[in-house]
């Protein structure tokens, strides 16, 4: 009796191979290795500066301010002025670096992630190797989104720790409602960076020119942030603080409006800021003013404003992703067939 013939094993390199997505991610990391290294260096340097800021620099500056305040009105006072200036400078530089991070992401996404690949033909080559355009774009958005969200979130956390360490200890520390500090301490930079990633990817697909996409994505992100910044005070109901004419307007936080109240409850523009000034007292009396008022967001509104603004940015990012997939589908739905360029 003869043995039954043995069937040959099925080839392992088919287009639907289950290990294709990991290969795409490895190729993505290899293709954009310089950008990954630069971004890693940026995060490490900025993070180290923030740790330095929240530790030794804060302690040295707080000690210097304590010495300065102990001098009172003495003619000669000995304190470490360099420590105060150094803290202020490092705080400013790290805050600027953190707020610039979303623009770096947008520029890279437009200029390299999709712009350069569509311009050079690398994307078209991938589509001819069994990778569908939709999967190609999904791979280029998923991994960078995770890396950007985690690294930007880490920098935000370190910035908030550094700011908290100096709160109440350093006389020149920025208040929470200083807009640069407000943004750098919350979730807005993370959402803005993700929106920048999506805007850059869309511009790269639309323009198919790396330099043009880089520039346009940066401008679009700047316009988006300016819009959110303008709308931010109106994303959550304000609190009205009413004060006497003698005391003037009161209430600290993000101010959206102030003026005077009449006996009928009308709101009028305040001609001056205190009834203690003789000329001001006369002007307020002519208006029939009885109180000052100020519409303000107190510190309790910090996280509602942050989360609402971040939600708006994430919604915009989702729309940009949908638009990117739509543009890609239209560009690759030509007569060349599946995955072929139009």
Give yes or no: residues 231 and 245 share one domain: no
Say what the pLDDT of residue 22 is: 56
- Please state, in angstroms and rounded to a whole number, the distance separating the CA atoms of residues 300 and 188: 17
CA 332 vs CA 28, 141, 339: distances in Å: 21, 18, 6
Give yes or no: residues 198 and 98 share one domain: yes
Give yes or no: residues 144 and 293 share one domain: no
Say what the pLDDT of residue 336 is: 44
Across the beta sheet with 254-262, the strand order is: 239-243, 289-297, 254-262, 267-268
Give yes or no: residues 153 and 206 share one domain: yes
- Please state, in angstroms and rounded to a whole number, the distance separating the CA atoms of residues 275 and 288: 13
Beta bridge partners of 296: 239, 255
CA angle 212, 216, 220 (to 5 degrees): 170
Q: Is residue 1 domain-resident?
A: no
Say what the pLDDT of residue 7 is: 39
Beta bridge partners of 267: 261
Give yes or no: residues 155 and 276 share one domain: no
Give yes or no: residues 64 and 50 share one domain: yes
Q: Is residue 342 domain-resident?
A: no
Say what the pLDDT of residue 12 is: 45
40: Cβ contacts below 8 Å, ≥ 6 apart: none
Contact 109, 205 (CB under 8 A): no
Give yes or no: residues 39 and 58 share one domain: yes
Residue-number span of the structural domain to which 166 is assigned: 34-235+301-331
Q: Is residue 28 domain-resident?
A: no
The number of distinct structural domains making up the chain is: 2
Q: What is the pLDDT of residues 80-99, one digit of tens each?
A: 889 999 999 999 999 999 99
Residue 278, classified by CB atoms within 10 Å of its CB into exposed (0-12), middle (13-18) or buried (19+), is: exposed
Give yes or no: residues 199 and 96 share one domain: yes
Say what the pLDDT of residue 273 is: 78
Q: Is residue 282 domain-resident?
A: yes
Q: What is the DSSP letter of 56?
A: I
Q: Is residue 19 domain-resident?
A: no
Q: Identify the segments of the chain with pLDDT beneath 70.
A: 1-25, 27, 72-75, 334-342
Say what the pLDDT of residue 107 is: 93
Give yes or no: residues 213 and 168 share one domain: yes
pTM across the whole model? 0.85
Give yes or no: residues 265 and 307 share one domain: no
Say what the pLDDT of residue 320 is: 96
């Amino acid at each position: 009796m003869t043995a039954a013939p043995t069937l040959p094993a099925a080839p392992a390199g088919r287009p639907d191979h289950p290990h294709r997505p990991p290969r795409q991610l490895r190729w993505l990391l290899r293709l954009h290795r310089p950008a990954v290294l630069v971004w890693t260096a940026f995060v490490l340097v900025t993070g180290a500066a923030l740790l330095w800021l929240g530790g030794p620099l804060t302690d040295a500056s707080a000690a210097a301010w304590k010495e300065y305040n102990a001098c009172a009105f003495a003619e000669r006072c000995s304190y470490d002025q360099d420590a105060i200036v150094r803290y202020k400078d490092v705080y400013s530089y790290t805050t600027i670096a953190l707020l610039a991070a979303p623009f770096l992401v947008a520029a890279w996404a437009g200029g390299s992630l999709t712009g350069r690949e569509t311009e050079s033909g690398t994307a078209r080559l991938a589509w001819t190797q069994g990778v569908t355009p939709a999967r190609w774009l999904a791979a280029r958005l998923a991994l960078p989104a995770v890396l950007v969200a985690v690294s930007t979130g880490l920098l935000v956390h370190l910035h908030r720790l550094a700011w908290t360490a100096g709160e109440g200890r350093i006389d020149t520390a920025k208040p929470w409602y200083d807009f640069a500090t407000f943004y750098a301490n919350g979730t807005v930079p993370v959402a803005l960076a993700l929106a920048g990633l999506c805007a850059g990817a869309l511009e790269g697909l639309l323009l198919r020119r790396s330099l043009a996409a880089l520039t346009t994505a940066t401008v679009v992100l700047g316009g988006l942030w300016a819009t959110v910044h303008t709308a931010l005070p109106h994303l959550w109901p304000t609190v009205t603080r009413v004060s006497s004419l003698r005391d003037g307007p009161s209430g600290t936080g993000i101010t959206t409006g102030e003026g005077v109240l009449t006996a009928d409850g009308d709101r009028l523009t305040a001609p001056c800021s205190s009834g203690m000034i003789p000329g001001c007292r006369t002007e307020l009396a002519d208006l029939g003013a009885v109180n000052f008022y100020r519409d303000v967001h107190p510190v309790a509104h910090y996280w509602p404003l942050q989360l609402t603004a971040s939600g708006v940015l994430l919604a915009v990012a989702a729309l940009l992703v949908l638009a990117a997939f739509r543009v890609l589908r239209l560009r690759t739905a030509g007569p060349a067939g599946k995955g072929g360029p139009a």
